[in-house]
Structure 1
């Protein structure tokens, strides 16, 4: 018992939002964290700030919580790292955090497969009208199935991938199994061997990709350069039979322009795992269009991926508290 208490006293303290299955650290994950750290939750911290302010060394940001603002940073003089789950850090004020001499980390690589999977799932669900098919099959008054409820072919179609990083490349690998023709647009062209392995053709300009693709999938980080990357002009360049799939961030699309494009038939459909904001207001027109498929930002929502992210967060936090090189440090741009 004494040894156990001594081990606990030697562990660094982390601050997390709360113990919660929805907007905090789930209990089963908290038990894993406790093997390495003492956890303080925000409510307890706010009640006893003087007790904890000189103990907390790491902020665990899980599902965008807690909010890391100037007031919180000033209250944590020993803070060494803000450890974020997932890849995107656009919800963090990086210049502000860096100004306090605090490191930021994310969890790249471990989310790649699950996010690529959701991209394929959305594309297939939209192409084959899965949601509408489910509605017809389960309606209480369904007597017969409609003779004609046609979707569009995925096999052999052209997929344009905007953002051919790790996740985009995994999407291409999966699309290769559907004999899809693959186009991609990226800041940097991949080496010829990587292109050959997935049968991908590089498009130096985004316009040609938009014009040729049956499906356009967005797999980019949200940056000032990609904010509203897809707007009215880009949507009008797409085929009227094309589908837009977004597994990156909602703000990469001009949503007002997307509503118009879907209503007026500029494109066939959209399939989105992300919106801006999340969730959308309940009266938002995107929620009520027949040619849209929406999921609630579940790209990384598998048990295994969540465990992998948590373990990587712990690795980053341990390195930061021990003064070691941090494996997934996000550097100032």
Structure 2
């Protein structure tokens, strides 16, 4: 790489300390408002920049990459998930892709536990009663929820976030179970007190709470499809802080409405902000606007990782968080 300042285009507003540091180090183009770039703006960015810093709201597909200029050599994603980036096509064009893994594990795990508590203890329903001024006083049978201690928690994807969820859930007295593509080492299982299930179907059928913590890939799209959702116990709860595409949202909505699943806590959705209106109307569902990683500390750390990836690349070395197709 040359010693000159890199041309870097950032597609969304980032926390002020991150934008300030980017401006100090690079010839950076920042957004003036916190809205996604238009397709035309993205095309202009890939045609002119040395590096682009997209987020999950930007679709960096094969058609866009085909319009990239020869100078574009790094897509430094602000976020861990890269399902919105065609990593294979980027690689074919000699463009590296990096991400920001591990930063938001604790923050997202906190939110997963918040959703588990919110659904099982009916917290939003209690809030609604109070906000409407409808509370008449304590009652022995009002808003009865369920105790977490002793319940079986099935974690689909026991990576960084899944393990953070496991540690939190264990502190609440929950029994930890998991399904992965690959079984973890025995010492890790013992440390977490986690039981491995080779069969996802068998695990799903026996859990009281199911937490989705796997990434969205072609192999995990609708992994929780209608058939598998029907395996869940009628009094079970499902929580998703990963990617909405992992669950068949329409099938989940039908089953929640029919009482075939007791409740759901969702921070992500299959079609982004276009949430099924029937899902919104259900009292046994807690819906959040994709805020699992939304802490100031986490978002600044994500920016620091982006900057380190760009600086390392500019110095002629492999970015520490480079993503390659074999990882997907």
TM (norm. structure 1) is 0.88
Partners in 2 of 1:40 and 1:66 — Cα distance? 19
What corresponds to 2:14 in structure 1? 25
Kept in 1, the 8 Å contact 2:183–2:196? The answer is: yes
CA contact (8 A) 1:25 1:62 kept: no
Q: Does 1:272 align with 2:266?
A: yes
Label 1:263 to 1:322 Cα distance change in 2 as closer, same or farther (>3 A).
same
Alignment RMSD (CA, Å): 2.7
Q: Unaligned regions of 5+ residues in structure 1, if any?
A: 1-8, 18-22
Equivalent residues in 2 for 1:89-108, closer than 5 Å: 89-108=82-101
> Separation in 2 of the partners of 1:112 and 1:261?
30
Larger-Rg structure: 1
Instruction: Please give the per-residue CA displacement for 1:212-257, whole angstroms capped at 9, x wherever unaligned.
Output: 1110001111111110011121111111110001111101001111
Counterpart in the other structure of 1:84: 77
Q: List structure 1 segments (4+ residues) > 6 angstroms apart after TM superposition.
A: 46-49, 51-55
Per-residue deviation, 1:65: 3.8
How far apart, in 2, do the equivalents of 1:82 and 1:54 lie? 13
1:183 Cα deviation (Å)? 0.8
Tell me the CA shift for residue 54 of structure 1.
8.3
Which consecutive residues of structure 2, in runs of 5 or more, have no partner in the other structure? none
Aligned counterpart, 1:315 = 308
Deviation of 1:300 (Å): 0.9
Shift of 1:275: 0.2
Q: Does residue 157 of structure 1 match 2:151?
A: yes
Q: How is 1:90-129 mapped onto 2 (pairs within 5 angstroms)?
A: 90-129=83-122
In structure 1, C-alpha distance between the alignment counterparts of 2:280 and 2:191, rounded to whole Å = 38
Q: How many residues align?
A: 318
Q: Any idea what the Cα deviations from partners look like across 1:99-134, whole Å, max 9, x if unmatched? A: 221000011111211111111111111111111111
**Which residue of 2 is the match for residue 187 of structure 1?**
181
| Residue of structure 2 in register with 1:38 after alignment | 27
**Separation in 1, partners of 2:68, 2:177:** 49
1-structure distance, mates of 2:46, 2:150:
58
CA distance in 2, matches of 1:113, 1:142: 35
Q: Secondary structure at the match of 1:14?
A: strand
1: CA distance between counterparts of 2:221 and 2:48? 38
Q: 1:191 to 1:47 in 2, by over 3 A?
A: closer
The structure-2 alpha-carbon separation of the partners of 1:52 and 1:106, relative to structure 1 and needing over 3 Å to count, comes to closer
Q: 1:141 to 1:42 in 2, by over 3 A?
A: closer
Q: SS at 1:237's partner residue?
A: coil
Give CA-to-partner distance per residue, 1:171-227, whole Å, 9 cap, x none.
Answer: 111111112111110011111111111211110101221121110001111111110
TM-score, normalised by the number of residues in structure 2: 0.89
Distance 1:55 1:242 in 2: 51
